[in-house]
Amino acid sequence: MTKPVTATRRQLSDPTEEGKSAADEAWAALRELLARQRRRFLATASELDLHPGQAAALVNMDPAEPRPMHELATQLACDNSNVTGIIDRLEARGLVARQTYEQDRRVRHVVLTPLGARLRGRLLAQVGSAPAGLERLSAAEQRQLRDLLRRVASS
């Protein structure tokens, strides 16, 4: 891998070109943050030698709780058969392990190994916490931002 595989869609071609309403400008700012976060995620995954799907799977796992594979499929919004492949590759690297679930022998549970939990921790340290920019706002401004975003999201 040469380039860190950054944004799949950095520029959404600015529909704010002339309209320039505050909503459009706010949206543009949001998309910028969004793109940056995505680049951060992909670059970090690449540094840890994880493909995006593998990194997403790790992040979606609980360090303590085993998870049924079909639950992972739901969270990753992909088919069961994809999860089989992703878990195959993670298991080959010793990051996760499969367990049979005695209560329902159709189900297989996936659990993080200590190695996998450590790698997941490194991923989250890079990608799961608030970006530095947020810390520069005052506490009151952070609350204000939070409340505004929650109202936007509450559809």
Partner DNA sequence: TATTGTTATACTCTATAACTATA
Partner DNA sequence: TATAGTTATAGAGTATAACAATA
CA dihedral sign of residues 146, 41, 20, 12: negative
Q: Which of residues 81-140 bind its own copies (CB under 8 A)?
A: 124, 127-137, 139
Residue 88, CA distances (Å) to 77, 129, 132 in order: 18, 29, 36
- Binding DNA (rule: CB under 7 A), the pick from 24, 63, 70, 121 is 70
Q: Which of residues 106 and 150 has its CB atom nearest to its own copies in the complex?
A: 150
Query: What's the token pair of residue 22?
Result: 């505050």
Residue 124, CA distances (Å) to 15, 18, 48, 117 in order: 33, 39, 12, 10
Q: Which residues contact 69 (CB under 8 A, 6 or more apart)?
A: 80, 83, 84, 87, 107, 108, 109, 110
Is residue 80 a contact residue for its own copies (CB under 8 A)? no
Q: Which of residues 26-45 bind its own copies (CB under 8 A)?
A: 26-27, 29-34, 36-39, 41
- Binding DNA (rule: CB under 7 A), the pick from 58, 61, 87, 123 is 87
For the CB of residue 137, give the shortest distance to DNA in the complex, in Å.
33
For the CB of residue 40, give the shortest distance to DNA in the complex, in Å.
16
Binding site for DNA (CB under 7 A): 1-3, 5, 8, 51-54, 68-71, 73, 76-89, 98, 103-109
